[in-house]
């Protein structure tokens, strides 16, 4: 009880029950918390506060308040205020659904990026807790590192390593790690070019885990009550069925691949990039006859080794049905093979699974170019392709 009281949480009483041990020999406990009478239940804000405090609770610490989470540093509001020059406009480097992003510098000179939640933001307390919980136990060169957090003076802020060079490239290794090696596996759920950052050595880092979902090994599919993500990158199967799988990230990465070769936004002037490439493609012609939609800066030479295989792979990733898409491990292997082909001085013939188009009539959710950043809500009853 002292833990909740010291954290100023509205908990009147608690019940703790020992349920035994897990298969990994961890103790299983059931904790019931009760609101002060005659209040029948907790408010949504109170539930978020209690859940957040429990996530950050260190049972070995004797102090009250919000303890530190292992691997993540707890900052005070005054510290982050100092590091960002009082959150000045000069230090403001961006804005997202969560709030503002500021550049700062720690006392040791390390550059940091601070995500500061804003009132009325489309993402809130749950996303804040999710990022802390996931990033505190994820360590990979292609995943952006969490340094710490601030939960002080009604402020919610996340502190990351600062990534210098904007966005993109080796993120596929980070996604493969999340799907195959994180424990439990994690679906990012918002893969897009803005969430793939490049450091000073041009090493790619997957960022922004506010919408991510950890999965149990026994269940690699998660049924959501709200669809969240960014329209244009969002898996249409997930959008329509509300079933989230690892293949949803594969779809989003396929859209990123098409962005790379076209230099177009996923939805531009009412046209969806996946549909545009499929309609323009003719596999019997040079460069699949995609010259009109390609980014001219990559060159239109017929000697673009591996180009057709790259397009084939991208279109396999954006198949309508998840079971038709490759896993991120398979994507990594194919891209590594393509890169070897591109740097090879000898000409070689390429073989890959060809794109044959969708085998069923499956409607896309991209019929309205105004739906660029969908963050939850009830699904419309029907969807019609443009």
13 inside domain:
yes
pLDDT in tens, 33-56: 777 766 777 777 777 777 767 766
Cα separation, 328 vs 36, whole angstroms? 49
Tell me what pLDDT residue 342 has: 65
Handedness of CA 128, 133, 139, 143 (dihedral sign): negative
Is the peptide bond between 262 and the residue preceding it cis, with omega within 30 degrees of 0? no
96 inside domain:
yes
Residues 216 and 309 both lie in one domain:
yes
Segment 159-184 mean pLDDT: 52
Question: Does the annotation place 205 within a ligand binding site?
Answer: no
Residues 150 and 219 both lie in one domain:
no
132 inside domain:
yes
- More confident site: 383 or 2: 2
Residue ranges in 318-371 assigned as alpha helix (H): 328-343
Coil, helix or strand at residue 174: helix
- Whether pTM > 0.75 for this model: the answer is no
Q: Any idea which residue has 């502190």 for tokens?
A: 159
With a CB cutoff of 8 Å and minimum separation 6, the contacts of 30 are: 15, 16, 17, 19
Tell me what pLDDT residue 83 has: 92
- Residue 86 pLDDT > 80: yes
CA 157 to chain CA centroid, Å, is 18
Segment 174-186 mean pLDDT: 48
**Do the Cβ atoms of 106 and 83 come closer than 8 Å?**
yes
Tell me what pLDDT residue 154 has: 77
Cα separation, 234 vs 227, whole angstroms? 9
Average pLDDT, the chain: 67
Provide the token pair at 299.
């060159």
Tell me what pLDDT residue 317 has: 92
Residues 179 and 153 both lie in one domain:
no
Question: For a pLDDT cut of 90, what percent of the chain falls above it?
Answer: 5
Phi, psi of 170 (to 5 degrees): -75, 25
Q: Is 295 annotated as catalytic?
A: no
Segment 138-156 mean pLDDT: 69
- Residue 81 pLDDT > 70: yes
379 inside domain:
no
pLDDT band of 157, cuts 50, 70, 90: confident
Cα separation, 118 vs 124, whole angstroms? 8
Cα separation, 57 vs 225, whole angstroms? 28
Tell me what pLDDT residue 319 has: 92
Segment 96-111 mean pLDDT: 81
Tell me what pLDDT residue 371 has: 36
Q: Print the domain residue range for 229.
A: 171-343
Which H helix or E strand runs over 94?
Answer: strand 92-95
Indicate which CATH number applies to the domain containing 123.
3.30.200.20
Residues 201 and 283 both lie in one domain:
yes
Residues 112 and 8 both lie in one domain:
no
Query: Which one of 180, 190, 235, 289 is the catalytic residue?
Result: 190
Segment 210-214 mean pLDDT: 45
pLDDT in tens, 275-313: 989 998 888 888 888 888 887 766 655 566 788 888 899
Residues 183 and 300 both lie in one domain:
yes
Indicate which CATH number applies to the domain containing 311.
1.10.510.10
State how many domains the chain has. Answer: 3
Provide the token pair at 104.
């700062």
Question: For a pLDDT cut of 70, what percent of the chain falls above it?
Answer: 49
Residues 124 and 226 both lie in one domain:
no
**Do the Cβ atoms of 318 and 332 come closer than 8 Å?**
no
Tell me what pLDDT residue 228 has: 67
Coil, helix or strand at residue 189: coil
- More confident site: 210 or 119: 119
Residues 84 and 216 both lie in one domain:
no
């Amino acid at each position: 009880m002292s833990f909740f009281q010291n954290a100023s949480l509205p908990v009147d009483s608690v019940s703790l029950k020992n349920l035994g041990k897990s298969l990994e020999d961890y103790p299983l406990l059931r904790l019931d918390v009760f609101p002060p009478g005659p209040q029948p239940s907790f408010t949504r804000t109170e539930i978020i506060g209690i859940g957040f405090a429990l996530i950050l609770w260190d049972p070995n610490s004797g102090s009250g308040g919000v303890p530190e989470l292992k691997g993540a540093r707890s900052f005070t509001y005054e510290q982050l205020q100092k590091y960002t020059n009082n959150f000045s406009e000069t230090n403001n480097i961006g804005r997202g659904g969560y709030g503002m992003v500021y550049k700062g510098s720690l006392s040791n000179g390390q550059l940091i990026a601070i995500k500061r939640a804003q009132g009325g933001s489309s993402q809130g307390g749950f996303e804040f807790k999710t990022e802390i919980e996931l990033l505190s136990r994820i360590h990979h060169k292609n995943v952006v590192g969490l340094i710490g957090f601030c939960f002080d003076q009604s402020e919610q802020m996340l502190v990351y390593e600062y990534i210098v060079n904007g966005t993109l490239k080796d993120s596929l290794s980070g996604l493969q790690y999340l799907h195959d090696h994180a424990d439990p596996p994690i679906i990012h759920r918002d893969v897009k070019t803005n969430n793939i950052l490049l450091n000073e050595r041009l090493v790619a880092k997957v960022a922004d885990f506010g919408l991510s979902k950890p999965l149990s090994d026994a269940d690699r599919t998660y049924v959501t009550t709200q669809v969240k993500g960014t329209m244009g990158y969002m898996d249409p199967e997930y959008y329509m069925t509300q079933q989230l799988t690892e293949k949803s990230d594969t779809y989003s990465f396929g859209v990123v691949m098409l962005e790379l070769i076209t230099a177009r936004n996923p939805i531009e002037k009412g046209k969806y990039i996946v549909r545009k490439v499929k309609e323009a493609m003719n596999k019997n012609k040079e460069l699949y006859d995609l010259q009109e939609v390609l980014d001219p800066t990559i060159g239109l030479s017929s000697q673009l080794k591996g180009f057709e295989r790259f397009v084939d792979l991208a279109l396999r990733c954006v198949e309508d049905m998840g079971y038709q898409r490759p896993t991120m491990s398979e994507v990594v292997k194919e891209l590594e093979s393509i890169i070897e082909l591109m740097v090879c001085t000898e000409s070689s013939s390429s073989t890959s699974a060809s794109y044959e188009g969708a085998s069923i009539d499956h409607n896309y959710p991209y019929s309205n170019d105004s739906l660029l950043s969908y963050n939850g809500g009830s699904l419309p009853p029907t969807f019609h392709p443009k």
